[in-house]
Amino acid sequence: MKFWSILGNSQRLDGGAMFGNVPRGMWARWIMPDDAGRIPLACRCLLVEGLNGRNVLFETGIGAFFAPKMRERFGVMEPQHVLLDSLRSAGFSHEDIDAVVLSHLHFDHAGGLLSAWEEGKPPNLLFPNATYLVGEECWQRALNPHPRDRASFIAELHPLLEASGRLERVQGSRSPTLGMQVRFSYSSGHTPGLMLAEISGSGADGAGGIAFCADLIPGRPWVHLPVTMGYDRFPELLIDEKRAFLDDMLAKQMRLFFTHDVECASADVVRDDSGRYSTTNEVAELKGVAA
């Protein structure tokens, strides 16, 4: 098994929204904002080559499906489909992917499933040979969103996924498609049923694997328990979920994988004597790293 970090399209979003109730004077020291108060964000995906003989892509980033006006509104920096370019640079195409795992269906995590915007043409579903894995609760939320997060979903995506005949709506901790090497757990502080994937390593009891943190922990600054996003549904619940998740990852010696951290793809989590969590052994990129 080999791990690859695969970049998708990048964004610039309001730093205040990304850091919730953290004062600007603090978060601006962690990530420098531009003149409009926006901070740079990656939309990074994890490719696991040889997972039970399959190429499995965890998330697809925001993609390039937005029309130009919407692309500008949501701070998407590149007009082309960067994920496809990044896969090619790693020696893969989207046709080589056997499964795509989506932590949830917000557009900055699932938009890369769709082809790039072309005027007058509807989007097409990419990854024609892949099974699409979505948590059941996330799926239901996308079908019946709350007014608070309705704009976070892509209306055209759901019928395309259903019509593909390759949609697996995951319930529980395991998937028939992926087998025992991937364990799922769930969080609802950000959005109902956020599906967190742990890919077992080669150590004893699967130790030394990697955990896809999704929007439970978007990057290193959010490892600190009190730091949440303005986009989170229930920040206090998220903090409790984050504490339990980090303690579990420490016990299992699992590395964290960050989707939105521009500078860091993966890191180990540590906890000091006061109980504060932070990261160490930070890696900017994974290029065919053996499990």
- Is beta strand 11-14 parallel, antiparallel or unpaired with respect to 38-41? antiparallel
Buried/exposed 223-251: b ≥16 CB within 10 Å, e otherwise: bbeebbbebbbebeebbebbeebbeebee
For residue 206, pLDDT over 60 is answered with no
Is the torsion defined by CA of 20, 62, 241, 28 positive or negative? negative
Cα distances from 168 to residues 101, 110, 161, 180, 269, in angstroms, run 10, 15, 10, 16, 31
State pLDDT tens for residues 55-64: 999 999 999 9
State pLDDT tens for residues 76-105: 999 999 999 999 999 999 999 999 999 999
pTM of this structure: 0.96
CATH code of residue 136: 3.60.15.10
Domain count, the chain: 1
Q: What gap in Å lies between CA 271 and CA 150, rounded to an integer? A: 37
Domain hosting 84: range is 2-290
Tokens representing residue 125 in the block: 């579903």
Residue (of 76, 108, 58, 67) closest to 213 by Cα position:
58
- What single string gives the DSSP state of each residue in 110-146? HGGGBPPPBTTB---B--TTPEEEEEHHHHHHHHS--
Is the torsion defined by CA of 220, 225, 231, 232 positive or negative? positive
- Band of residue 52 on the pLDDT scale cut at 50, 70, 90: very high
State pLDDT tens for residues 237-279: 999 999 999 999 999 999 999 999 999 999 999 999 999 999 9
pLDDT > 90: percent of the chain: 97
- Share the mean pLDDT of the chain: 96
Sequence-ordered strand ranges (E) for 77-203? 99-102, 131-135, 167-170, 182-187, 194-199
Q: pLDDT value at position 201? A: 80
Q: What gap in Å lies between CA 264 and CA 70, rounded to an integer? A: 27
The secondary structure element, H or E, covering residue 87 is helix 82-89
Q: pLDDT value at position 108? A: 98
